[in-house]
Structure 1
Amino acid sequence: MIRTLYERYLLDQVNNSPEQIPEHITIILSGSDLLDQKGEDNFRSFITWCKKLGIATISAYIDVLDTKEEIQIEMTSMLTTGMQEMLRSLTDDVGFFIYDENGNLKEKREGTSLTVHISVGFGGRAEITKAINSILSDVKNGKIQPEEIDENVIESHLLVQEEPDLIIRAGGKHLSDFLLWQSAYSELYFTDVNWHDLRKIDLLRVIRDFQKRQRRFGK
Structure 2
Amino acid sequence: MGLYDAYLGVRHRLHEGEPPEHVAIVITERDLLADGAFDTLAAALGWAFDYGAERVTVSVSVLDEAVVPSLVRELRDLDAPRRMSVRGPDDTESVDAPIRMNVGLGGKAEFAAAVRDIATDVDAGELRPEEIDEAAVTDRLVFPTEPDLVIKTGAERLSDFAIWQSVYAELYFTDVNWRDFRRRDYLRAVLDFQDRQRRFGR
Same-fold status (TM-score > 0.5):
yes
Asked if 1:133 corresponds to 2:116, the answer is yes
TM-superposition CA deviations, 1:39-61 (whole Å, max 9, x none) = 10110000111111120111111
Q: Report the AA paired with residue 25 of structure 1.
A: V
* Contact 1:100/1:106 (8 A) holds in 2: no
2:83 is aligned to: 95
Post-superposition offset of 1:82: 1.0
TM-superposition CA deviations, 1:70-124 (whole Å, max 9, x none) = xx132112111111121xx435xx132222124x24674x65xxx1221211111
* Contact 2:114/2:140 (8 A) holds in 1: yes
> Any unmatched runs of 5+ in structure 1?
66-71
Could you tell which deviates more after superposition, 131-140 or 205-214?
A: 131-140
2:86 match: secondary structure: strand
Shift in alpha-carbon separation, 1:81–1:143, aligned structure 2, 3 A = same
Distance (whole Å) between structure 1 residues aligned to residue 16 and residue 59 of structure 2: 26
2:2 is aligned to: 4
Shift in alpha-carbon separation, 1:57–1:75, aligned structure 2, 3 A = same
Map 1:85-124; keep pairs closer than 5 Å: 85-86=77-78, 89-91=79-81, 94-102=82-90, 104-105=91-92, 108=95, 111=97, 115-124=98-107
1:20 match: secondary structure: coil
* Contact 1:131/1:154 (8 A) holds in 2: yes
Query: What percent identity do the matched residue pairs reach?
Result: 36
Map 1:1-219; keep pairs closer than 5 Å: 3-17=1-15, 20-36=18-34, 38-65=36-63, 72-86=64-78, 89-91=79-81, 94-102=82-90, 104-105=91-92, 108=95, 111=97, 115-219=98-202
Post-superposition offset of 1:21: 0.3
Could you tell which deviates more after superposition, 73-82 or 138-147?
A: 138-147
* Contact 1:171/1:190 (8 A) holds in 2: yes
Distance (whole Å) between structure 1 residues aligned to residue 145 and residue 7 of structure 2: 31
1:44 match: secondary structure: helix
* Contact 1:98/1:105 (8 A) holds in 2: no
TM-score normalised to the size of structure 1?
0.84
Aligned residues: CA RMSD: 2.0
1:68 is aligned to: none
Distance (whole Å) between structure 1 residues aligned to residue 73 and residue 51 of structure 2: 28
Which of the pair is proportionally richer in helix?
1
Q: Report the AA paired with residue 67 of structure 2.
A: M
> Any unmatched runs of 5+ in structure 2?
none
Could you tell which deviates more after superposition, 3-12 or 44-53?
A: 3-12
* Contact 1:167/1:188 (8 A) holds in 2: yes
Could you tell which deviates more after superposition, 165-174 or 12-21?
A: 12-21
TM-superposition CA deviations, 1:1-27 (whole Å, max 9, x none) = xx2232222122222346520111111
Distance (whole Å) between structure 2 residues aligned to residue 196 and residue 38 of structure 1: 7
* Contact 1:14/1:21 (8 A) holds in 2: no
1:69 is aligned to: none
Post-superposition offset of 1:36: 4.9
